[in-house]
Structure 1
Amino acid sequence: MNSSDLLARLIAFDTTSALSNLEMMEYIQHYLNAHNIDSQLIFNDEYTKANLYASIGSEQARQQPGILLSGHTDTVPVSGQQWTRPAYQLTRDGDRLYGRGTTDMKGFIACVLSAVPAMAAAQLKRPLHLAFSYDEEIGCLGVRRMLDMLSQQPVAPLLCLIGEPTEMKVVTAHKGKVAARVTVTGKECHSGMAPQGVNAVNYASRLIVWLENEALKRQQQGPFDHQYDVPFTTIHTGTVQGGSALNIVPNHCELVFEIRNIADENAMDILQQFRDYARQLEQQMQQHTDTCAIDTEIITEYPGLNCTDAEQLVSYVRTLTGNDQSGNINFGTEAGLFRQSLGVPSVVCGPGSMAQGHKPDEFIEISQLDQCDRFLKQLIHALSSDTLPG
């Protein structure tokens, strides 16, 4: 099957992060089995979701460092979006293929699977590894379990390529992220006696102002990395919930914020500064009532990507794509985790544009799939002739 046909099969599986991806993984596993390729599933604790890992190449080839191709199988939900087409049925209009996950990122997985027969038939001198994950959309959670297993392998990959949509540009950097939930516990009382209470919303507002000041400082003073569209670390408060009635001093307020950091800054350092300030406020609150508290919990975190080594190898891969453009991306991926866990060069390169991702009537252009198909054909040839640097 070609990549468009396979994409139609993959789109038909609703793999929203809140749901299981096992039906899709079993389909991929059976597809690989039909081409005599063994694979293994790495499950979550509940056995409702799984990563899939497979290696292609002879035993001799697998003694050499090869290329790992990775993609996530989960998608964002369609609820609340105004779709004009069926989200889980691939439809075509001209050069566009519509459906949830076409761009982010089942298009890449479809191209990889379409190339599997050629991979299996090739006399690879270096192996190809396939690594498909779950729960990327909710914090890159699932891939960590697979990386624990991969870090124990005797031969590390030469390069990890994560196929998120970049219009087939080879991207070597993206921002890291830390998201945190802050719970402020005060003391309630009748609003007519407000000084006898501890207003949790007021203290939460001070935390929000601190975050906003830190965000503005970076916007005005940097540090800057002009390879990004937004060339500085961003700090953003996303939700605030607190209080129960106008005439009650609120004893509870919760806020959620995130830090998206460039390589020159450490998000954990910023988070620690926030915690230090929160501790000062907490001490003020506890002078009134010792049960008052400010608790900060990390919800999700993943490292940024800054692949500055292996320039010769990255340049070679760029020639295989037929796209000599470079640059950074503003969204996060699993690439930083591959880089951190396996200690090998990692890049982001895949068909489609994130401008279409997460939106109603998500689509990918067939020309993008074709470009990815050609890249994979060139990659198979490079691994068969062992012309990759390194």
Structure 2
Amino acid sequence: MSSIPAEAALEHIRRLIAFDTTSRDSNLPLIEHVVALLAGLGVDATLVPDDTGAKANLFATFPAADGGVDGGIVLSGHTDVVPVDGQAWSSEPFAAQVRDGRLYGRGACDMKSFIGVVLSRLPAIAATPLAEPIHLALSYDEEVGCFGAADLVRAMTDAGLRPRGCVVGEPTGMRVVRGHKSITVIRVDLRGVAAHSSLTPDGVNAIALGAEFVRFVEQVAAEFRESGPFDDAYVVPYTTATVNRIDGGIAVNTIPAACTLTFEFRALAAVDLAATIERFRAEAQRIGDEAARRHSAAGVELTVLASVPGVDTAADAGIVGRAADWGGVPSDGKVTYGTEAGLFDRAGIPTVVCGPGEIAQAHAPDEFIELDQIAACERFVDRLIDDLRVR
């Protein structure tokens, strides 16, 4: 088996990396590029734009030989990448370079190599008489909360598509991964009352209110760490919760009137997400009510910024065995990062995560992917196409 990717795949990956699709910016040039590729093969793409029209999801179906679109396999990936701000790169991040058996560039690992391989195989898919369809799904804003994928999956199901399996091509080293935790991101805005720091009874310290909430998050995290539930398939086998940002105060001699903190919790499938969110909301309410008794202007507001469901596909699900047959490496492990897999799973589409590269290389300066991983992904997609061929 060759460890060198085909030049066609490398060229598609280079083209994708050249599109600066940092989440804060538009992904439309990349999406329009894919639309043109599909149109050249006689395949119509459906776009699902965001509210501003500056970004869009895309899905397209290569139907079965009889024209049917029932069933089939989804190949899913996100088009956005994380920023390069403040990172020291050895080469231009949006101009892919091959050095020492690796391809470097922002998104090379996460996850434009997977998408590039799939795009390089579109002509083969179009030319193959398929027993069941192959669906392409590309989303925006995965890196900031899977916002695009939620609308994408909804649009696909609303269109009557009922795939019987999905492969999300996030970097797993081509291991077939059945599970990851959910991710919930929450902002807490704490309102105090400003006063001169020499007159503390006249004010309500919003940072102190925030510190009280931070202690509660740490308490909840300790409960999960000590009492579970547990799943030893994860590197961290319990639900985690952590406050990762706090903003507040204007001067050292002024009691702060405002404080904002943002935290996340990453939950195992056995954890009740709604109940956990409500527990945090109740504590925010308690702190706010106590502050309001001191001054009517004080209070606390909790906002859920993002909630991405986890996935825990059964080991005996058909997509798990098929992904292994296509060349994915069987694995009982689960990954620590989130993907759109949970959204497909929640829509009734059994899903695995399996793609080239290792997550340790994602998001970092000089992001790279080993060339043999791209070649392994090519073999995977080729076997998938052949498996779905009419016999």
> TM-score with structure 1 length normalisation?
0.95
In 2, the alpha carbon distance for the partners of 1:48 and 1:135 equals 12
Confirm or deny that 1:110 pairs with 2:116. Answer: yes
User: RMSD of aligned C-alpha atoms?
Assistant: 1.5
Match of 2:376 in 1: 371
For structure 1, the residue ranges without an aligned partner over 5 or more in a row are none
377-386 or 171-180, which moves further after superposition? Answer: 377-386
The one-letter amino acid paired with 2:100 is G
In 1, the alpha carbon distance for the partners of 2:290 and 2:151 equals 42
In 1, the alpha carbon distance for the partners of 2:232 and 2:79 equals 32
Give the alignment partner of residue 318 of structure 1, picking from 324, 332, 337. 324
Contact residue 178 and residue 315 of structure 2 kept, 8 A:
no
The one-letter amino acid paired with 1:370 is A
CA offset digits 1:163-204 (Å, max 9, x no partner)? 111111111110001111111111122222212221111111
Give the alignment partner of residue 70 of structure 1, picking from 76, 80, 85. 76
In 1, the alpha carbon distance for the partners of 2:207 and 2:99 equals 50
* Cα distance, 1:285 vs structure 2: 1.1
Partner SS for 1:120: helix
Contact residue 164 and residue 349 of structure 2 kept, 8 A:
yes
* Cα distance, 1:354 vs structure 2: 0.7
Match of 1:132 in 2: 138
200-209 or 1-10, which moves further after superposition? Answer: 1-10
1:39-188 matches, within 5 Å, as 39-58=45-64, 60-188=66-194
Match of 2:387 in 1: 382
* Cα distance, 1:63 vs structure 2: 4.1
Contact residue 161 and residue 346 of structure 1 kept, 8 A:
yes
Match of 2:233 in 1: 227
CA offset digits 1:343-366 (Å, max 9, x no partner)? 120111111111100000000111
1:201-220 matches, within 5 Å, as 201-220=207-226
CA offset digits 1:342-389 (Å, max 9, x no partner)? 212011111111110000000011111111111111111111147xxx
Contact residue 259 and residue 267 of structure 1 kept, 8 A:
no
Contact residue 170 and residue 354 of structure 2 kept, 8 A:
yes
Partner SS for 1:14: coil
Partner SS for 2:76: strand
245-254 or 343-352, which moves further after superposition? Answer: 245-254
CA offset digits 1:196-240 (Å, max 9, x no partner)? 221111111110011112112222222211101111111010111
In 1, the alpha carbon distance for the partners of 2:82 and 2:29 equals 17
In 2, the alpha carbon distance for the partners of 1:263 and 1:197 equals 43
The one-letter amino acid paired with 2:350 is P
* Cα distance, 1:58 vs structure 2: 4.1
Match of 2:41 in 1: 35
CA offset digits 1:2-54 (Å, max 9, x no partner)? 21111111111111111111111111111122222221222122221111111
Confirm or deny that 1:348 pairs with 2:353. Answer: yes
Contact residue 97 and residue 363 of structure 1 kept, 8 A:
yes
In 1, the alpha carbon distance for the partners of 2:371 and 2:57 equals 27
Partner SS for 1:10: helix
* Cα distance, 1:112 vs structure 2: 0.3
Confirm or deny that 1:286 pairs with 2:292. Answer: yes
In 2, the alpha carbon distance for the partners of 1:145 and 1:271 equals 22
Aligned length: 385
CA offset digits 1:315-341 (Å, max 9, x no partner)? 12212125223310000000101111x
Confirm or deny that 1:8 pairs with 2:11. Answer: no
The one-letter amino acid paired with 1:40 is T
The one-letter amino acid paired with 2:388 is L
For structure 2, the residue ranges without an aligned partner over 5 or more in a row are 1-6
* Cα distance, 1:114 vs structure 2: 1.0
CA offset digits 1:132-163 (Å, max 9, x no partner)? 11111111011222222111233400101111
The one-letter amino acid paired with 2:11 is D
* Cα distance, 1:124 vs structure 2: 0.3
Match of 1:244 in 2: 250
Give the alignment partner of residue 359 of structure 1, picking from 333, 358, 364. 364
In 1, the alpha carbon distance for the partners of 2:215 and 2:17 equals 43
274-283 or 206-215, which moves further after superposition? Answer: 274-283
Contact residue 169 and residue 326 of structure 1 kept, 8 A:
no
Q: 1:226 to 1:41 in 2, by over 3 A?
A: same
Q: 1:72 to 1:326 in 2, by over 3 A?
A: same
In 1, the alpha carbon distance for the partners of 2:16 and 2:284 equals 46
Partner SS for 2:172: coil
The one-letter amino acid paired with 2:375 is D
In 1, the alpha carbon distance for the partners of 2:201 and 2:274 equals 36
* Cα distance, 1:274 vs structure 2: 1.6
